[in-house]
Amino acid sequence: MRQGAEATRKWLGEGGKAQFEQWLAGNAGHAAEPMARVSFARCLIIAGQHAAGREILKKVIAEDGLRSTLIDDAQFWTGVSYNYQRDHVSARKAFGEFLRDYPNSSYAKQLSGKFPVAGPVTR
């Protein structure tokens, strides 16, 4: 993972971040926009820019639910970002919400038995 994180940091610094931002700014409403946002957030998280990645994922969750099936990915990667930071309380909460809201997601199998499902939806 370390080599992947270093390569991702390098790529983002050498123009990858600017390319993502430019594409997103120029293609608002494009069918691939939600996937591009999730991909960008994942790159930021892998590169150690956890808070920046979570901000993008929040936007995906808030804005892309009606045109994308990536909401479970965004919620899962929110938990991953907290886990990478060793913020286990926030990771447990994010993963619990993920398991509650997306029990049939392919990611749910990875978390099964590792995290408790959050309580009832309170939104």
Sorted by where each starts, the structural domains of the chain and their CATH numbers stand as 2-111 (1.25.40.10)
At residue 77, what are phi and psi to the nearest 5 degrees? -70, -25
Cα separation of 79 and 5, whole Å? 17
User: pLDDT tens digits for 71-115?
Assistant: 999 999 999 999 999 999 999 999 999 999 899 998 998 888 888
118 in Cβ contact with 99 (< 8 Å): yes
| Res. 55: pLDDT tops 80 | yes
pLDDT value, residue 120: 64
